[in-house]
């Protein structure tokens, strides 16, 4: 018998808040399908408060609460049966993160889980990568966010190791990433990839998705290191205003695109990867998968 349920994932990041609604389709004898029904992104940049002042401002709390009230109504309209809201780097670093989560729950009814970097990396790694991972290849999966970047190594289609670092686009914009973080990331990548003679990157996050969309590449084709390096040089020479006007970028993308590209390029350089694949999956997809896995285990 055909069974269709709608699940929702709320990803409260440092650069934006996202709502992903997915139709989970079950039919006896068939593999479960996950069809994206709706994706809404609101550019509430919590990291701008937290990474400089250490707490979420009242203004951003208000914007966040309004966004989640809207998400609550959208989930109701879509008849969502299950949801999970996860907050990452900005809220876990905020001195008032738990207080804000409590206030949000009282005002909107949405309960927020503030997850640590390891759980974030594990959720991202739990996404449906089967169609992208070739058994004879090794991949470094890089998910770049506003407050942190998660790195995972996949070999023979299986997760080998993962690590989260406090290296993100909003932190870089605010110039609050110490050089020691870059040194630590470089050492981890080199140590984790040194035994492999050939490695490819998998990139996720809004910035690499934007770059890929504008590259004109067909779905499944990778971006080369040389393409990404040329893109970085071009964008780095443009002003913020030029990226918006001449490159047709959204205002909240035009400033973070350069630091994001720098992170991906650095990961490619230190791992020796010549190509980066962009499967367009991330934390929200992992949240959906985690809810479905919990259901099947119950």
pLDDT category, 157, cuts 50, 70, 90? confident
Is the pLDDT score of 156 beyond 70? yes
Tokens 């203004």 correspond to 59
- Both 215 and 184 in one domain: the answer is yes
122 part of a folded domain: no
Give the pLDDT band (50/70/90) at residue 158: confident
Q: What integer pLDDT is reported at residue 131 of this predicted model? A: 65
Contact 233, 288 (CB under 8 A): no
Query: Which of 164-168, 180-184, 259-263 has the least mean pLDDT?
Result: 164-168
Mean pLDDT confidence for 97-123: 93
Q: Considering the domain boundaries, does residue 125 fall inside one?
A: no
pLDDT band at 298 (very low <50, low <70, confident <90, very high): low
Token pair 């970028």 in the structure block, residue: 249
Residue 127 has pLDDT above 80, yes or no: no
Domain match, 96 and 174 both: no
pLDDT at 170 over 90: yes
Q: Averaged over 221-248, what is the pLDDT? A: 96
Does residue 185 lie within any of the structural domains? Answer: yes
Both tokens assigned to 74? 């959208």
Return the DSSP state at 54: S
Residue 124 lies in a domain: no
The DSSP secondary-structure symbol of 199 reads -
Query: Is 85 found in the same domain as 195?
Result: no
Largest CA distance in the chain: 57
Arithmetic mean of pLDDT, 77-84: 97
Question: Which pLDDT belongs to residue 125?
Answer: 74
Q: Are 56 and 33 in contact (CB under 8 A)?
A: no
Q: Does 251 share its domain with 291?
A: no
On whether both 69 and 177 belong to a single domain, the answer is no
pLDDT digits (tens, 9 = 90+) for 19-73: 999 999 999 989 899 999 999 999 999 999 999 999 999 999 999 999 999 999 9
Helix pair angle (206-215, 257-271), 10° resolution: 90
Least reliable range by pLDDT among 60-69, 72-81, 127-136: 127-136
Calculate mean pLDDT across residues 150-156.
91
Q: Are residues 143 and 260 in the same domain?
A: yes
66 and 40, same structural domain? yes
145 assigned to some structural domain: yes
Task: Look at residue 251 in the predicted model and tell me its pLDDT.
Answer: 93
* d(C-alpha 70, C-alpha 49), whole Å: 22
Answer whether residue 53 is part of any domain.
yes
* pTM for the whole structure: 0.88
Q: Are residues 15 and 85 in the same domain?
A: yes
Token pair recorded at residue 176: 């609050």
Q: How far is 211 from 292, CA to CA, in rounded Å?
A: 31
Is the domain of 56 the same as that of 160? no
The CATH number of whichever domain residue 191 belongs to comes to 3.30.420.150
Measure CA 16 to chain center: 10
The pLDDT value given to residue 248: 94
pLDDT tier at 130, thresholds 50, 70, 90: low
270 plus 293 within the same structural domain: no
Provide the β-strand partners of residue 40: 19
The DSSP symbol for 164 reads E
192 vs 30: CA distance, rounded Å: 37
The mean pLDDT of 172-189, rounded to a whole number, is: 96
Residue 269 has pLDDT above 80, yes or no: yes
Domain count of the fold of the chain: 2
Domain that holds residue 68: 3-117+284-297
Q: What percent of the chain has pLDDT over 70?
A: 98
What pLDDT is attached to residue 294?
Answer: 85
More confident residue, 212 or 293: 212
Q: Output the six-digit token pair for 33.
A: 């399908």
Residue 264 sits in the same domain as residue 147: yes
Within a domain: residue 290?
A: yes
- Evaluate if residue 278 carries a pLDDT over 70: yes
The CA-atom distances, in angstroms, between 14 and each of 4, 63, 101, 166, 265 are: 32, 14, 15, 11, 21
Residue 129 clears pLDDT 70, i.e. is over it? no
- pLDDT reported for residue 192: 96
Based on the fold, state whether residues 112 and 157 are members of the same structural domain. no
- Does residue 126 lie within any of the structural domains? no
- Cβ-Cβ contacts under 8 Å for 12 (sequence gap 6 or more): 46, 64, 85, 86, 87, 88, 90, 91, 112
Q: Is the Cα torsion angle 15, 158, 119, 173 positive or negative in sign?
A: negative
Indicate which CATH number applies to the domain containing 60. Answer: 3.30.420.40
Q: Which two tokens stand for residue 164?
A: 């989260």
CA proximity to 142, closest of 154, 152, 133, 131 = 152
């Amino acid at each position: 018998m055909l069974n269709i349920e709608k699940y929702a994932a709320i990803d409260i990041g440092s650069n934006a808040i996202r709502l992903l609604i997915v139709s989970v389709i079950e039919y006896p004898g068939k593999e479960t399908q996950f069809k994206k029904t709706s994706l809404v992104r609101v550019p509430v940049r919590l990291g701008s408060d937290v990474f400089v002042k250490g707490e979420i401002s009242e203004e951003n709390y208000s914007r966040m609460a309004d966004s989640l009230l809207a998400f609550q109504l959208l989930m109701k309209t879509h008849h969502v049966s299950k949801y999970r809201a996860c907050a990452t780097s900005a809220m876990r670093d905020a001195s008032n993160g738990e207080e804000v989560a409590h206030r949000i729950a009282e005002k909107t009814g949405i309960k927020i889980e503030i997850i640590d970097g390891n759980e974030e990396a594990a959720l991202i790694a739990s996404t449906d990568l089967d169609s992208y991972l070739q058994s004879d290849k090794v991949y470094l999966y890089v998910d770049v966010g506003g407050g942190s970047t998660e790195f995972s190594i996949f070999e023979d289609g299986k997760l080998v190791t993962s690590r989260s670092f406090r290296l993100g686009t909003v932190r870089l914009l605010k110039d609050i990433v110490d050089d020691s973080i870059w040194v630590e990331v470089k050492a981890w990548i080199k140590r984790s990839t040194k035994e492999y003679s050939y490695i490819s990157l998998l990139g996720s996050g809004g910035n690499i998705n934007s770059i890929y969309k504008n590259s004109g590449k067909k779905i499944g084709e990778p971006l080369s290191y040389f393409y990404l390096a040329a893109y970085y040089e071009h964008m780095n020479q443009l002003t913020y205003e030029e990226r918006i006007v001449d490159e047709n970028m959204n205002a909240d993308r035009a400033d973070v695109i350069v630091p994001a590209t720098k992170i991906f390029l650095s990961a490619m350089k230190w791992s020796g990867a010549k190509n980066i694949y962009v499967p367009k999956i991330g934390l929200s997809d992992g949240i959906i998968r985690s809810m479905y896995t919990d259901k099947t285990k119950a």
